[in-house]
Structure 1
Amino acid sequence: MALAKLGVVVLDCPDPRALAGFYAEVLGGTVEGEGEWVDLKVPGGVALAFQRAPGWVPPKWPAADASQQFHLDLEVEDLDTAEQGVLALGAKPLAHPDGRGFRVYADPAGHPFCLCAC
């Protein structure tokens, strides 16, 4: 029996509303809140929350001395189409492992995430 239930995944960032808007365009859902804490209610999934972090420094990928600590894997039907979409929204490519079924990007605040073929 589980001791807890996952409530929300929280990402620190310099601009919570802007980053929530990026992920709303990628995942769908509704952005709620203003200021220091903003929620993204994702249909059929775990909510994401975005918390203002003064002095935010994005992780480096890959780098042992500035670890990413975690990343999001986002499942997509078509990697090429999804890639065009996230790049248009401001994502930056980090790695494009040929033939491995995933691609790595940084969101506008610098958090790594992967698009994964499902």
Structure 2
Amino acid sequence: MTDTQKTDTVPSTAGTTSAKPVATLAMVTLDAPNAAELGEFYSSVLGWPIAYSDENYAMLSGPSHALGIGTTPDFQRPSWPDDGHKQFHLDLAADDVQAAADRCVELGATRADPQPGDTWIVLIDPAGHPFCITDAKNWG
């Protein structure tokens, strides 16, 4: 089979195949108190252009996915540490983890306290969402 040929099955995490996916991930959307401001933050962090932004919604265009941000008037920041109750977080890969974390802090992120590991750095975005800076070499 060549790289351009398609298959109706995909590998599962168990090493076997499963049926063709029902859908593909197109975008992750974050809630925030101010969509435009958080859109600017993530545009600077990821280097992705802002495809759309107003007071209610922002969307960044990534190379294969998009990041959406919606203004939620009653937004409540996630807590940290959260004792394993957070709903999700973003893992961002960087060649220099420390330099990337430092730049994110310059852009408005804060370092989470405590730090739960030593191979990544947990940061909190301006809206309160935790995210990690990880070593790009670990992602293959």
Which TM-score applies when normalising by structure 2? 0.76
Residue identity over aligned pairs, in percent, reads 35
Answering whether residue 24 of structure 2 is matched by residue 18 of structure 1, we say: no
What secondary structure sits across from 1:18 in the alignment?
A: helix
Displacement of 1:96 after TM fit?
Answer: 3.5
Counterparts of 1:1-118 in structure 2, within 5 Å, are 1-31=20-50, 32-42=52-62, 44-64=63-83, 67-94=85-112, 95-97=114-116, 100-118=118-136
Moved over 3 A (4+): 95-98
Using CA pairs below 8 Å that are at least 6 residues apart, which structure has the higher relative contact order? 1
Displacement of 1:47 after TM fit?
Answer: 0.7
What secondary structure sits across from 2:45 in the alignment?
A: helix
How far apart in 2 are the matches of 1:97 and 1:69?
17
Amino acid at match of 1:37: Y
How far apart in 2 are the matches of 1:45 and 1:36?
24
Amino acid at match of 2:75: W
Structure 1: tracts of 5 or more residues without a match: none
- Is the CA contact 2:35–2:53 (under 8 Å) kept in the aligned structure 1? no
- Is the CA contact 1:68–1:111 (under 8 Å) kept in the aligned structure 2? no
> What residue number does 2:15 align with?
none
Amino acid at match of 1:103: I
How far apart in 1 are the matches of 2:59 and 2:28?
10
Deviations 1:41-69 (A, max 9, x none): 12x2321000011111111122249x321
What secondary structure sits across from 1:57 in the alignment?
A: coil
Deviations 1:71-118 (A, max 9, x none): 0000000011101100101101114356x3201010000000000012
How far apart in 2 are the matches of 1:90 and 1:16?
15
Structure 2: tracts of 5 or more residues without a match: 1-19
- Greater Rg, structure 1 or structure 2? 2
